[in-house]
């Protein structure tokens, strides 16, 4: 998968396709903004995969033993890792309403060992269906044998961080087990995870590897509407006591939340558009565009232009 295909719009629609309600995924631009996104159910760190070793070697002393409280699945197929990363959080968060489909998958597989959990994920019709609707709209790239192409697309790997029953875990389907990073509470887990992520960021920044951090959070619209309800209660009270300064502040706050709600609405419209473009089969569009150029007698010139661009790029690559 390519980076532009796996931003928050993809994850948000992945969750929706699983019929999980009340959550969304946001990109985390800076670790300082984590507090604003609370409540956060889990974090996903993604980076360009170098191949080879799993990530647990970054924590050589960590406990990798299988804990029955932790839902940990080994990664069986490589390009399903985005789906698996989001499932690692969803299946480990009792406060998220998973919906009947995913809930029954969890019930059915919870006694499985990590390998069989991974296999069950790759065999589940529900999960495969959701994953495939995102993997490619084009029929020819569905099988993984497309690696024969000369220009390889970048492969990204995803690792999840989740607080589970009083401990912070790093979940990487390529590791031998869930990495227990030590005790935490629901309140302080973000403080505990911060240095772990900072260390990864420092490592990848110095080696110029692209990475990105995403957070699975409570649905913003719901969060804002709950706050508005609280404010309305307080407005009522301030009205009764004739507290004009407080009234003014509360009205400003309410205005601000309404703006945020509108901002969310616009953002989700944009996600919807991006996702429909991403899933669309553009071959008929492209073919007709080329046909039109041919009929207008302009295709030959475009081919010559493209050939010049290819030569230019090859020359530049040689110079590097």
Partner 1 sequence: PEGGTRPDVNLQDVLSPNAIGPLLNNPEISSALFPHLPSNIERSPEELSAVVNSPQFAQALQSLSLALQSGQLGPLLTQLGLDPSAGNGVEAFLRAVQEQAGRRQRDHND
Binding status of residue 154 toward partner 1 by CB under 8 A: no
Binding status of residue 290 toward partner 1 by CB under 8 A: yes
| The token pair that represents 78 in the structure block | 């490589």
| The token pair that represents 195 in the structure block | 């240095």
Binding status of residue 27 toward partner 1 by CB under 8 A: no
Q: What residues between 301 and 320 interact with partner 1 by CB under 8 A?
A: 302-303, 305-307, 309-311, 314
Quote the CA–CA distance of 233 and 212 in Å, as a whole number.
40
Which range, of 48-56, 93-101, 134-142, 216-224, touches partner 1 by CB under 8 A?
134-142
Cβ-contact 207, 108 below 8 angstroms: no
Which range, of 21-29, 85-93, 191-199, 285-293, touches partner 1 by CB under 8 A?
285-293
Binding status of residue 284 toward partner 1 by CB under 8 A: yes
Binding status of residue 94 toward partner 1 by CB under 8 A: no
Q: Which residue in 173, 159, 145 sits closest to 201, CA to CA?
A: 159
Quote the CA–CA distance of 243 and 235 in Å, as a whole number.
9
Nearer to partner 1, 150 or 242 (CB): 150
Which range, of 15-23, 30-38, 154-162, 291-299, touches partner 1 by CB under 8 A?
291-299
Quote the CA–CA distance of 122 and 116 in Å, as a whole number.
10
Q: Which residue in 20, 42, 26 sits closest to 164, CA to CA?
A: 42
> Maximum CA pair distance of the chain?
79
Binding status of residue 291 toward partner 1 by CB under 8 A: yes
Residue of the chain from 32, 295, 316, 320 that contacts partner 1 (CB under 8 A)? 295
How far are the Cα atoms of 79, 157, 161, 207 from residue 85, in angstroms, in the given order? 11, 9, 9, 24
Binding status of residue 277 toward partner 1 by CB under 8 A: yes
Q: Phi and psi (nearest 5°) for 194?
A: -55, -50
Instruction: List interacting residues with partner 1 (CB under 8 A).
Output: 2, 4-5, 136, 138-141, 146, 148-151, 153, 272-274, 276-280, 282-295, 299-300, 302-303, 305-307, 309-311, 314
């Amino acid at each position: 998968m390519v980076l532009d295909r796996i931003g928050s719009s993809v994850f948000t629609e992945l969750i929706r396709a699983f019929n999980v309600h009340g959550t969304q995924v946001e990109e985390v631009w800076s670790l300082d903004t984590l507090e604003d996104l609370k409540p956060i159910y889990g974090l996903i760190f993604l980076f360009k995969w170098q191949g080879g070793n799993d990530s647990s070697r970054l924590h050589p002393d960590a406990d990798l033993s299988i804990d029955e409280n932790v839902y940990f699945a080994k990664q069986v197929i490589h390009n399903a890792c985005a789906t698996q990363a989001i499932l690692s959080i969803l299946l480990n968060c009792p406060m998220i309403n998973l919906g009947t489909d995913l809930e029954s998958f969890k019930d059915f597989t919870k006694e499985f060992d990590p390998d069989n959990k991974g296999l069950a994920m790759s065999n589940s019709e529900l999960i495969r269906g959701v994953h495939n609707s995102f993997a490619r709209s084009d029929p020819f790239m569905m099988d993984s044998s497309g690696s024969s192409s000369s220009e390889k697309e970048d492969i990204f790997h995803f690792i999840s961080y989740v607080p589970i029953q009083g401990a912070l875990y790093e979940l990487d389907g390529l590791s031998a087990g869930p990495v227990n990073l030590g005790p935490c509470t629901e309140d302080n887990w973000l403080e505990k995870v911060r240095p772990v992520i900072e260390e990864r960021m420092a490592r990848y920044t110095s080696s110029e590897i692209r990475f990105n951090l995403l957070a699975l959070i409570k649905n913003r619209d719901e969060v804002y509407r709950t706050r508005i309800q609280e404010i309305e209660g307080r407005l009522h009270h301030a009205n009764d006591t004739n507290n004009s300064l407080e009234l003014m502040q509360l009205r400003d706050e309410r205005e601000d939340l309404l703006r945020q709600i509108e901002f969310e609405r616009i953002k989700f419209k944009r996600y919807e558009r991006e996702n429909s473009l991403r899933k669309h089969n553009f071959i008929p569009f492209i073919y007709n565009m080329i046909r039109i150029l041919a009929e207008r007698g302009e295709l030959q010139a475009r081919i010559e232009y493209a050939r010049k661009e290819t030569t230019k790029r090859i020359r530049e690559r040689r110079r590097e």
